[in-house]
Amino acid sequence: MKKLAYIFGIIFFSFLLNAQIELPYQLPHKDILSLADAPLPPSISISNDGKKAIMIYRSPYKSIAELSQKEMRLGGLRINPVTNISSRVNYSNNITLFNPETQTETEIKGFPQNGQIAYISWSKSQDKIAFTHTTENGVTLWYIDYPSAKAHKLTNDDLNANMGNPYVWLTDESGFLVRRLPAKRKALIDTENEIPTGPVISVNEAGKEAQNRTYQDLLKSPQDETNFETLTRSEIIKVTLKGKISLWKDADLYRFISPAPNGEYYMVGTIKRPFSYIVPFSRFPLDVNILDKNGKKVHALASIPLIEDLPKGFMATQTGPRSFGWRNDKAATVYWAEALDNGDPNKEVEFRDQVFQLPAPFTGEKQPLTKTVLRYSGITWGTDEMALVSEYWWNTRTVRMSFFAPNRPNAPQKLFIERNYQDQYSDPGSFVTRKNQFNEEVLDLDENENLILIGAGHSPEGKLPFIDELNTKTMETNRLYRAAQNDQLENIIKIIDRKNGVFLTRLESSNVYPNYYLRNINDGSLQAVSKFENPFQALENVHKEVITYTREDGLQLSATLYLPVGYDKNSGKKMPMIMWAYPREYKDKSSAGQVTSSSNQFTRPFYGSPLYWINRGYVVLDNTAFPIVGEADEEPNDSFIEQLVANAKAAIDAVDAMGYIDRKRVAVGGHSYGAFMTANLLSHSDLFAAGIARSGAYNRSLTPFGFQSEERNYWEAPEVYFEMSPFSHADKMKTPLLLIHGSADNNSGTYPMQSERYFNALKGLGAPVRLVMLPNESHGYAARESIMHMLWEQDEWLEKHLKGDLD
């Protein structure tokens, strides 16, 4: 008996040794490391007139030490309670001034050393730039005076950025309204070590449905509620550019502050109790009030209750006022939308929403502006005679844009366009705006009532951006410019001088880093603005092309194909391939088959990209189209697995026919829903030699009230949830799978336990699988140590399962 126990002890000890591996962070192969550690060129922000710009520098990664600082997760927020700013904010480290005409940079005098810069914003006149700088103790407010190239510190490190940007510019640019920590602040409760005084109990009334997504970082206890209040409570102060500080409003749970165009009034949102344990702070009760410029309340605009239960459907919304804003074309007129269908998309109604307004001094009745056939999604203001209202309906993938006259609410709308928003070829572009007398953006309507549109230009011929002029009287368009079909990719950024035909644009090619230019469409001139160098020289001459091919049901698909560095296309050598993809749902085949990638897009690897393996001897198939189509009354997910496998087979067949790959040495990978795709492909096909699945969800019963674009709940379509779950088919898995997940994933549905439970199922059934949990990482990874190790894991996995004796 003792001997048997000893044998079982040895077996169990061996299991532990095999189950867990202690491994410090690793660095990937030098050919990957050289690309992953390439310094990032700065980003550039250019003024509306094109005469001023700033260069913004940042490191591509955080450190694991930064990521391991104390973090509190409350109400959907992730907060550093020491510095009082989001624990996940991505900082810049320096700003310089840039002259687009001379292409010269100027250092800013007095700029903070070792910058932790966030929330950068130009003033409306674009003579100043504000930003926050985070010290080891907290957040400070600074501004840059552009003419003198000097930075000025305005506050101590006591700002409260836990709810986002802690400041707003005063409209006269004399200073800011700022959220600051209260002078007397409660101590935080140590919830980790506190002894409970009782259980946490949640209840629901019979018949009251609250079908919410699986949100994370929610409140869990009365102690969490107290800590949430403590961390989000601020007082509002007024800070002048000379550093003079005065109290503007006593402490409360301020969610937002929005100034009227004339600066005489402010719209302020304040969170109220009761809080919720099943939805994030964005759905907590909210009072929306209008205050005067001295902080005195002049009107209670809305009192929005807790939103825990909504009607079923993606197009469901709350009842009562929502989507508040100031009319950009008026001094002080607030507007908002209200549902006419009680927020229930299943009701048959003529109009879904109505937009109302209320002008200062806010003592009258609300005034109707316009109604929408679909769900309201926004207004671009122009004049009393012309504004543009947008609406959409997810179920049919429909978007509408119509012109209406704000001063004539009973006048009929003039439809501009109604289309399938997934149909990229039919996208008319976005309307150009200009600054008005309030320095607010409004439709750029000329004396002939013409507007300008800038479009991305996706078409069967490729991505060819365009500039159109719309005659709003006849609703006819005149094409002013269309990019040439050549070896460059153009992206039109914005108008600089409409009268003289000058636009800011960005040009790039597969091996030329993107740079900015001023294009004059009247005389055809092109003036360089920036001269960024290519940091990824190793990939400069790789072969890249967008390929098209056909799925077995006739659906046209596309992908971007990269051949390995130094590969001879004529050699006939069969190489291993890594395919990377992300499934997307469509309601029609014509939209699903459109090509939106360009072979002229710069080859830019990023932390989650498969492009590093071009430098390791692999063919890479990136942006591989994985449409899941459900036309008419058919839901896309009803045939998810069949379409998934058909997409993969079509892609492999296409590249195999070109003679570049050994189809027995193909791996597939993806992140999030792409990881879900990967696990399903390995379970339901024999097309792949290995898979890489990062931060996915594998058991759909753990997301019972919908996921991705699935609107039905688990009890309405149990067979769909079962069939689509790789966890349900773990017994079919025979292909080596690398699972990677951030241990602090905050994405709805992709709990870390999704990978942990799936790994346990695969291990229990004898499948070849490796699970890598990255400490403190969220849904997207940030620390250099984590990312380098992730790249090492992926490289080792591919080398082991794809290369074999190829070398």
Catalytic center residues? 672, 745, 779
Strand order from edge to edge, sheet including 690-694? 544-550, 556-562, 619-624, 575-581, 661-671, 690-694, 737-742, 769-774
Whether 416 and 475 have beta carbons less than 8 Å apart is answered as: yes
What values do phi and psi take at 456, rounded to 5?
-70, -30
Going across the sheet that includes 265-271, the strands are: 254-259, 265-271, 286-292, 297-304
* Residue 682 CB coordination number (10 Å): 27
Residues 332, 350: contact at Cβ < 8 Å?
no
The DSSP bridge pattern shows strands 690-694 and 661-671 to be parallel
Distance CA 680, CA 640 (A): 10
**Cβ neighbours of residue 690 closer than 8 Å, sequence gap 6 or more:** 667, 735, 736, 737, 738, 797, 798, 801, 802
Q: Do residues 332 and 261 lie in contact, with contact meaning Cβ atoms separated by under 8 Å? A: yes
Burial class (CB in 10 A: 0-12, 13-18, 19+), 653: middle
Angstrom distance (rounded) from CA 747 to CA 676: 14
Cα-based angle 627, 738, 663 (whole degrees, multiple of 5): 60
The conformation of residue 539, written as its DSSP 8-state character, comes to G
Taking the C-alpha atoms of residue 699 and residue 762, their distance in angstroms, rounded to an integer, is: 13
- Residue 173 makes CB contacts below 8 A (sequence gap 6+) with 123, 124, 125, 127, 128, 241
Which token pair is 240?
């002048």
